[in-house]
Structure 1
Amino acid sequence: MLSGTQGLLFVLALSLLSICAQQSVGRVTLENGVKSKVYLSPKITQHPGSVSNKFYYDIEFPKGHIAIKSFNAEVVDEEGNPVSLQETYLHHWVAVRYYQRKGIKEPKYNGNLGFHQSDFVIARNAGVCSKGLTQFFGLGSETRKTDTHVPDPYGIEVGNPLQVPNGYEEKWLFNVHAIDTRGAVDAMGCTECRCNLYNVTEDEYGRPLKPDYVGGLFCCYDGTQCKVKNGVQSVKRNLYLKYTVEWVDWSDSIIPVNIYIFDVTDTWENTGIHDCLIEFNVEKNENANDFTSIRRSKASFPISGDVVYGAAHLHSGGIGSALYGEDGHVICSSKAIYGEGNEAGNEAGYIVGMTTCYPKPGSIKITKDEVLTLESNYSSEKSHTGVMGLFYILVAESSSTLDASVQIHQDSVVPIFFWGVSVFGLAIFAAVVVSYRRQRQSEDGYHSISTST
C-alpha cells in the first residue's frame, strides 16, 4: 500500500501526464512544409430544441504573416467525438477577421458589435456584397465533406503587418449557429427555422416579424427554442467547434488569392447595389412534372483574375449551384452531396458535402466588370424556408508568376512548444516534492449572419 506522500505523488503524476497529453493535442505539426494545428472553440451548451448562435471574439488562430492553405471544422462533444447533424444541426459557422484597437477590453462573447465602433474594424473579404457575408471562411452542414484546400502556389494572405491600421492588432472571431434537434417534433422544420415551431413573433431585437415571414434566421436566433415532443427530458451537454488550420509562412513566391462570395438574393441587377439578402424561401410546386426551383442573380466582378477554387453553400433541399461568365460559359458548378446513413458525416436527408472546383491554373479567367450569373437549384417537391444560395470563389489577380514554386520554410516549431510543455510539467512535479503547487488554465474564444454567414 502506498504511503500518503507516495500516493499523492502518484495521483499528481497521473494528472501531469493527462495535462501534457491534452496540451500536446493542440501542438503545431509540420508535414511537407505545411504547418497545422487543431483548435477548439469555447464550449457550446445545448439542450433538446435549443439554439445557440453566438459570437466568439479573439479566437485562437495562427500568428504571423502567413498563407492559409485550408480551414476545416466540425462539431464534437466533450470527448472529441463527432456529433451527428441528426442531433445538432450546424446551420453555419463563419470565421471573420477584424482589427481591434490596442489596449481595448475584449467584447463579451455574445455581443454583436456591428463593427460601427472605431475600436473594432472589420477586415472583410474582397466582395461582392455591400454588406454582410464578410467572412474569410465558413460552411454549414456540409463542412465535413467539402474540400477547402488552397492549391499551390496560391494562398490566402493574412497577418501582413502592413495591412493592419496603426494602433490596431489583427484578430479573428467565430459565429457558430447550432440547433439541437434531439426529441424535436419536426427536426427538419427546426433546421429550416420555421417560426411556428419556435413560437416566435418578434426578432431578437424585439421587432415584430412581418405576417408573411414564415421561417428563417429571424425565428431561430440565439436562445430560442424549437418544439420538442412531450416527455423529452431537458438534458444539457457541452459541444465544441473543432477547427483545423493549415498554413505556410509567407514568401514572395506565394500568389495571393482574393475571397469573393456571391449571393443568389443579390439585388444588384435591379438596384445597382450589391444588397445581399442572405436567405429566401422555396415554394412547393404542385406541378408533378418538374420539382426544380431555379433562382438566379447577376453581379459585376470588380477585378480581372484567374479562378483558383469554387464551392457553393446550400441548405437541405438544395440540388446544386453554378456560376456563369458573361458569355454563358461555366466558371464553376458545385453539387450537393447527401448522406445515406446515421453516422456523423453521412446523415440521411442532410447535405454533408459540396463538390468543389479546382481549375487548371490560368484556365478560367474573369475580366474586370464582367457580369456573372449565379444560379441555385432547389427541389420544390415540398416547401423550404430560410434557405441560402451562396457561392465562394478564390481569385488570383495575376497569373504572371504561376510557374513559381512555393518556398516553404521547414523550420519546425514543434520542439519549442513541446519542451515548453515538458518544462511546465516538470515544474509541477518538482513543486509537489517541495509542497508547492501551480495550476494554469486557458480558454479560447465567432459572428452572426448579419455581418457574415
Structure 2
Amino acid sequence: MLHYFRVLLAILLLALSIPCSHAAFRKHKQHKIKSSVFLSPTFELDHGSVVDTYYYNIDFPRGHIALKGFNAEVVDEEGHPVPLHETYLHHLGPYPYGIEIGNPAEVPAGYEERWFLNVHAIDTRGVEDKLGCTECRCDLYNVSNDEYGRPLEPDYIGGLKCCYDHAQCKVREVSKGAKRNLYMKYTVKWINWDESIVPVKIFILDVTDNWNGLDNSTVQSAERKCHVEYQIEPCSASGMADNGCIHTKRTSLTFPTGGYLIYGVAHQHSGGIGSTLYGEDGRVLCSSIPAYGQGKEAGNEAGYIVGMSTCYPQPGSVKINDGETLILESKYSSAQRHTGVMGLFYILVADQLPKPVLSLRSPIAKSINQGSD
C-alpha cells in the first residue's frame, strides 16, 4: 500500500526578521567543508491525518559560518528513506552557495541566533482522493473555518487553510495499526566564515505578490500581499481539443537596487510546466523547468516533480539594473482544476563580483530536488 505525505520544510532565523539573508561564493581561497547529519523529533501520522508542527531551537551548526549545502529527507524508525510517492519535501531553505549565519554584528544585543523546523505532513493512505487531499480541498477535509476558527471565503475551495494541524482528510476505510512514526533527517555542509567570502542577497519571489517595490519602506511593506498559493480552473473543452490548456500567471516586481544574478530556481506543484524570470526589456534572466519521475524508486517517482532545473550564469553575465522591473511568469497545466498551487522563484544577487572570478561550473552542493503536491 502506498503512502503519501506532504512535508513543508521551513528553516528560518528566529532572532532576525530581515527579508533577505546573505549568501556567498568564493573568491579564490580553499575552505575545509564540514558536514553533520541531524534528526528532528518524531512525528506520527495515520490514514488521512495531518501534522503541521514547529520544532524550536533544533540542532544546527553554530558560530559565524557559511552554509554550503543542505539536504533533507523523511526517514522511518529504522532510518530508511521514504520516497516521494510516500513523502514529499518542500525545500525552502539553504542554497548551493554559502549562506552567512551567526554574524555577531547582525544579532541584536540580548538575542542569540536559533533555528526552527516546520513540518507539514499529510498521510494519504486509504483516502478517497489522493490528489484532492494533497491539494487540500476543503470538502475532503469537511472544514468551513480555518485553524483559528475564522470562516473561509466563499470562493476558497482548497489550499493551506483547509489542511492545518490535526485536520482529517476523508478516508475510504479505517485500518487498525496504521499509525507510523517518522523523522526529518537533514544533512548540513558549511565552512567557517572569513573575508574571502563575498556576501550575496537572497530573494524569494512570489507570482501571487502584488507588491511593487523591494525596499525597506514600512509603507511599501504594509501594502505587500503575498498570497503564496492560488487556484487554477479547468480549461474549456475547446481548449482541451486544441491542446491549449495552459494557465499562465504573471506579476511584476521592481528592484530599487540591482546586482548580478548568481543563481536561480523555481518551485512548483503537481501540474507545473515551468517558470521564467524576465528582465524589463523581455530578456530571459532564468528559466526553471520541472522534471517528472518515471518509476517507483526514490528520486524517480512517476507523476511527481523530482527536480527543477537551475540557472548558474557565469558571474557577471546576467545583471539586474537599479530600478529595473522584472516579470515573473508561472505556467501550469489546466487540463484539470488545481488548488493551493505555488509559483515561487528563488534568486541570489551579488552587489559586486570577486576579483578574480572563479568558474562555478561545479558547485559544491547540487540543487535540492523539489516535488509536487
Instruction: Give the structure with the higher percent strand.
Output: 2
Which amino acid is the alignment partner of residue 54 of structure 2? Answer: F
TM-aligned CA deviation for residue 382 of structure 1: 0.6
**2:55 is aligned with 1:56:** yes
Which amino acid is the alignment partner of residue 96 of structure 2? Answer: H
Task: Please give the secondary structure, in 1, of the residue aligned with 2:131.
Answer: helix
Deviations along 1:119-174, whole A, 9 cap, x unmatched?
xxxxxxxxxxxxxxxxxx17xxxxxxxxx422xxxx31111011110011001111
Which amino acid is the alignment partner of residue 54 of structure 1? Answer: T
CA contact (8 A) 1:339 1:346 kept: yes
Moved over 4 A (4+): 269-272
Deviations along 1:256-311, whole A, 9 cap, x unmatched?
11110000001125996432110000110011220111000010114221111111
Deviations along 1:228-261, whole A, 9 cap, x unmatched?
1124335111111111111110111111111100
Q: What residue number does 2:234 align with?
A: 284
TM-aligned CA deviation for residue 402 of structure 1: 4.8
Q: From 395, 402, 424, give the equivalent of 2:349.
A: 395
TM-aligned CA deviation for residue 205 of structure 1: 0.2
**2:176 is aligned with 1:199:** no
Which amino acid is the alignment partner of residue 83 of structure 2? Answer: S
Instruction: Give the structure with the higher percent helix.
Output: 1
Gapped regions of structure 1 (runs ≥ 5): 1-30, 95-136, 139-147, 407-453
TM-aligned CA deviation for residue 343 of structure 1: 2.3
TM-score (norm 1): 0.67
TM-aligned CA deviation for residue 71 of structure 1: 1.4
Q: What residue number does 1:261 align with?
A: 204
Taking the TM superposition and a 5 Å limit, the aligned residue runs for 1:28-107 are 33-90=32-89, 92=90, 94=92
Partners of 1:72 and 1:86 in 2: CA distance: 18
**2:228 is aligned with 1:274:** no
TM-aligned CA deviation for residue 81 of structure 1: 1.2
What value does the CA root-mean-square deviation take over the aligned residues? 2.1
TM-score (norm 2): 0.81
TM-aligned CA deviation for residue 89 of structure 1: 3.9
Deviations along 1:33-69, whole A, 9 cap, x unmatched?
2111111111121111111111111111111111111
Gapped regions of structure 2 (runs ≥ 5): 1-29, 214-218, 361-373
Q: What residue number does 1:226 align with?
A: 169
Taking the TM superposition and a 5 Å limit, the aligned residue runs for 1:147-158 are 148-150=95-97, 155-158=98-101
Instruction: Label 1:51 to 1:89 Cα distance change in 2 as closer, same or farther (>3 A).
Output: farther
Taking the TM superposition and a 5 Å limit, the aligned residue runs for 1:117-136 are none
Instruction: Label 1:399 to 1:39 Cα distance change in 2 as closer, same or farther (>3 A).
Output: same
TM-aligned CA deviation for residue 32 of structure 1: 7.0
Q: What residue number does 1:360 align with?
A: 314
CA contact (8 A) 2:266 2:308 kept: yes
CA contact (8 A) 2:47 2:174 kept: no
Instruction: Label 1:347 to 1:405 Cα distance change in 2 as closer, same or farther (>3 A).
Output: closer
Q: What residue number does 2:4 align with?
A: none
Q: From 178, 185, 204, give the equivalent of 2:128.
A: 185
TM-aligned CA deviation for residue 381 of structure 1: 0.6
Which amino acid is the alignment partner of residue 179 of structure 2? Answer: K
Instruction: Label 1:223 to 1:86 Cα distance change in 2 as closer, same or farther (>3 A).
Output: same
Task: Figure out how many residues of one structure are paired with residues of the other and give that number.
Answer: 320
Task: Please give the secondary structure, in 2, of the residue aligned with 1:209.
Answer: coil
Q: What residue number does 1:321 align with?
A: 275
CA contact (8 A) 2:251 2:329 kept: yes
TM-aligned CA deviation for residue 404 of structure 1: 7.3
Moved more, 43-52 or 268-277: 268-277
Partners of 2:300 and 2:61 in 1: CA distance: 30
Q: What residue number does 1:342 align with?
A: 296
Q: From 146, 152, 176, give the equivalent of 2:119.
A: 176
CA contact (8 A) 1:339 1:352 kept: yes
Computing the radius of gyration from Cα coordinates, the structure with the larger value is 1
CA contact (8 A) 1:192 1:216 kept: yes
Q: From 298, 301, 307, give the equivalent of 2:252.
A: 298
